[in-house]
């Protein structure tokens, strides 16, 4: 069992209230830390809302499942939060080993996937929360710069006040364009002055010149902890 209630951290306590009704991109290069923030911090905070997660490809779906299985051994109290997720899966199989399968899109031509995804997201409401897992970075890269229209359609058809949280792990060609579609950029990077288990959180509002460092956290026993 996690020592803290859902592993909450006071660093993120300051950030999370600003995300409601906004479109936020979380930039974190380490996949384990990125998924830990999603499962231990973001999902519990929004557990009273209808929450959706988009996962792209069977290979990355499998990897996320392995992460969840390992996490729930240590943090079994997260199980109800995970089970309450609505899953939008782009892949080859209808298999859904957590949450409820809200929609399945067969992986194939990226343009067809984009059209199906746009239609699926039309069913979401203003009060919903939508998580774009970092696996969606592969989808956007496959679409490429020549199909930015389809990416704009996906974002433009979302409800105006939906809470959107997208995860980004690396630098790809199209990333700078996609950053323009978000209101808030949360950057998480290693504090190399200490060690590889300490991280700094900073927040940038894309519609103003407001950029500030919110604080630091560390990873201890596969859990997020305050410093």
Per-residue model confidence (pLDDT) at position 209: 63
Q: Return d(Cα 220, Cα 32) in angstroms, integer.
A: 13
**Residues 150-196 pLDDT 10s:** 999 999 999 999 999 999 866 665 676 788 789 999 989 888 777 77
Domain CATH number, residue 156: 3.40.50.11570
Predicted local distance difference test score (pLDDT) of residue 1: 43
Longest distance between any two alpha carbons in the chain, whole Å: 48
Whole-number pLDDT of residue 6: 46
- Given the DSSP bridges, would you call strands 51-56 and 23-28 parallel, antiparallel or unpaired? unpaired
Domain count along the chain: 1
Residue with the bigger pLDDT between 9 and 83: it is: 83
Q: Which residue has the higher pLDDT, 104 or 210?
A: 104
* Average predicted confidence (pLDDT) for the chain: 88
* Domain span at 61: 5-226
Give the end-to-end CA distance of the chain in Å, rounded to a whole number.
20
- What per-residue confidence (pLDDT) applies to 193? 75
Please give the DSSP secondary-structure letter assigned to residue 145.
Answer: G
Q: Which residue pairs, CB below 8 angstroms and at least 24 apart, start in 176-180?
A: 177/145, 177/148, 177/151, 178/25, 178/140, 178/151, 179/25, 179/206, 180/206
Residues of the chain with pLDDT > 70, as a percent, come to 89
pTM of this structure: 0.87
Q: What is the pLDDT of residue 213?
A: 65
């Amino acid at each position: 069992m996690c020592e803290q209630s859902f592993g909450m951290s006071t660093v993120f306590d300051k950030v999370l209230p600003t995300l409601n009704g906004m479109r936020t991109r979380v930039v974190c290069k380490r996949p384990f830390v990125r998924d830990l923030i999603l499962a231990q911090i973001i999902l519990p905070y929004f557990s009273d809302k209808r929450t959706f997660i988009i996962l792209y490809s069977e290979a990355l779906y499998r990897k996320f499942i392995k992460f969840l299985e390992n996490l729930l051994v240590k943090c079994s109290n997260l199980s109800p939060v995970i089970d309450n997720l609505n899953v939008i899966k782009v892949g080859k199989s209808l298999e859904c080993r957590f949450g409820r399968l809200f929609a399945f899109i067969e992986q194939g031509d990226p343009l067809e996937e984009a059209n199906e995804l746009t239609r699926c997201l039309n069913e979401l409401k203003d009060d919903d929360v939508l998580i774009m897992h970092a696996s969606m970075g592969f989808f956007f890269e496959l679409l490429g710069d020549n199909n930015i229209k389809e990416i704009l359609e996906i974002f433009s058809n979302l409800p105006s006040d939906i809470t959107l949280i997208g995860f980004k792990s690396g630098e790809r060609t199209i990333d700078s364009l996609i950053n323009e579609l978000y209101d808030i950029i949360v950057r998480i990077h290693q504090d190399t002055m200490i060690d590889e288990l300490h991280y700094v959180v900073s927040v940038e509002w894309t519609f103003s010149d407001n950029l500030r460092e919110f604080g630091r956290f560390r990873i201890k026993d596969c859990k997020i902890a305050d410093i």
